[in-house]
A and B are shown apart, each in its own frame.
Chain A
Amino acid sequence: MALLLDMTAPVLIASVALYGMFRRVDVYGAMVQGAADGLGVLLRIVPSLIALLTAVYMLRASGALELAAGALAPVLEALGIPPETVGLLLVRPVSGSAALGVGADLITTYGPDSLVGRTAAVMLGSTETTFYTIAVYFGAAGIVKTRYAVPAALCADLTGFLAASWAVRLLFGA
């Protein structure tokens, strides 16, 4: 199982490349084109990451995040969520790049293989920027009455956070 997961990336890359060759696709050209598009994505997120990490670093240095984590710790601990992730929980539904900034900060500070680092990574991977998505969809469709979309979406978010914490505990122990 461990070997299988370690080999996910190389095996996936190889099988996609082989299938592409079989379908007579210019695999190398597509790889390079995709990587070039990736640079475009990075270029678009760099400015917001600079702005947001400035604010996140300031918040962390000021002790505000610890205060918030301390205040919410009893609730979070009772739910099985590591209190250190409180900042991520708060920004995740609102801004994707802010969540990436806060999450990356947790992952580098606590280490990618720590309980907090892993939980932050799983939370980032298993939830979305709820309010942004709702605004975009209903804006584009010209919807005024959103009915139960917000509460239902928040149910999914909350479950995602809880499930991320539980899944990391279950699969990685402690």
Chain B
Amino acid sequence: MAMTAIWTGMVLLSILCGLATGRAPAVAAAAMEGAAAGVELCLSMAGVLCLWMGVVEVMKRSGLSEKLSRLLRPLLGRLYPSFARDREVMDALSANVSANLLGLGNAATPLGLEAARKMCRRSPGTASDDLCMLVVCNTASIQLLPTTVAAVRAGAGCARPFDILPAVWLASALSVTAGILAAKFFSKVWRR
């Protein structure tokens, strides 16, 4: 429902603003252009996006993604101390993070939800510190290869769609760190 309000609000605001600034005819033309641009954008990024989905599928079948999730386990034990000995939760958590790293949002969400459901068995109804950490880590993107963005850039005629990688890694690392620090800080001062 939130999107209904936002979308209708955007349309109404543009009509009002267009009338006020005298650009109403441009707004009318833009509505048609925008709809066409939606299809064109998808077509322009389709090839690159499908290519990476293929590469990731090979990673999954060859066991590379499982290797990645095993590498992550010790780190996650520190982030979620009260579940470090819970194998089921740790398995779901490490699979969630490795799916996020590979940019598999669709696979990461069900894995993360499984971890969340198992975590909240101990404190039903209220978000525990670990659950807050899980949610914060999932709202901060930690993608190694931002394939969708690269596909958009390639579609816009960019010769080096991946030249933003160092910048993306730097920004992601900083935002995840900020999220983790904020969660750790709030867990000390927030009442239950």
Asked if residues A38 and B50 are in contact (CB atoms below 8 Å), the reply is: yes
- Selected contact of B27 from candidates A42, A62, A151, A155, CB within 8 Å: A62
8 contacts between A and B (CB under 8 A): A30-B57, A34-B54, A49-B38, A62-B21, A126-B171, A128-B140, A149-B127, A156-B179
Residues of A1-36 at the interface with B, using a CB-CB cut-off of 8 Å, are 2, 5-6, 8-9, 12-13, 16-17, 19-20, 22-23, 25-27, 30-36
Range class of the A interface residue count: 35 or more
A34 to B98, CA, bound (A): 17
- Selected contact of B54 from candidates A25, A31, A42, CB within 8 Å: A31
Asked if residues B14 and A156 are in contact (CB atoms below 8 Å), the reply is: no
A55 to B135, CA, bound (A): 30
Range class of the B interface residue count: 35 or more
Asked if residues B124 and A62 are in contact (CB atoms below 8 Å), the reply is: no
Residues of B25-73 at the interface with A, using a CB-CB cut-off of 8 Å, are 26-27, 29-31, 33-35, 37-39, 41-42, 45-46, 49-64
Asked if residues A148 and B187 are in contact (CB atoms below 8 Å), the reply is: yes
A78 sits at the interface (CB 8 A): no
Asked if residues A153 and B120 are in contact (CB atoms below 8 Å), the reply is: no
CB closest residue in chain B, given A131: B2
Q: How many A-B residue pairs have CB under 8 A?
A: 351
Asked if residues B140 and A100 are in contact (CB atoms below 8 Å), the reply is: no
Asked if residues B126 and A38 are in contact (CB atoms below 8 Å), the reply is: no
Using known A-B contacts A55-B7, A156-B136, determine if residue A12 contacts B49 with beta carbons closer than 8 Å: no
A41 sits at the interface (CB 8 A): yes
Asked if residues B126 and A156 are in contact (CB atoms below 8 Å), the reply is: no
Give chain A residues whose Cβ lies under 8 Å from the Cβ of B50: 34-36, 38-39, 42
A104 sits at the interface (CB 8 A): yes
A75 sits at the interface (CB 8 A): no
Residues of B132-178 at the interface with A, using a CB-CB cut-off of 8 Å, are 132, 134-136, 138-141, 143, 145-146, 148-149, 152-153, 155-158, 160-168, 170-172, 174-178
Give chain B residues whose Cβ lies under 8 Å from the Cβ of A41: 49, 53, 106
- Selected contact of A30 from candidates B58, B157, B183, CB within 8 Å: B58
- Selected contact of A156 from candidates B17, B55, B182, CB within 8 Å: B182
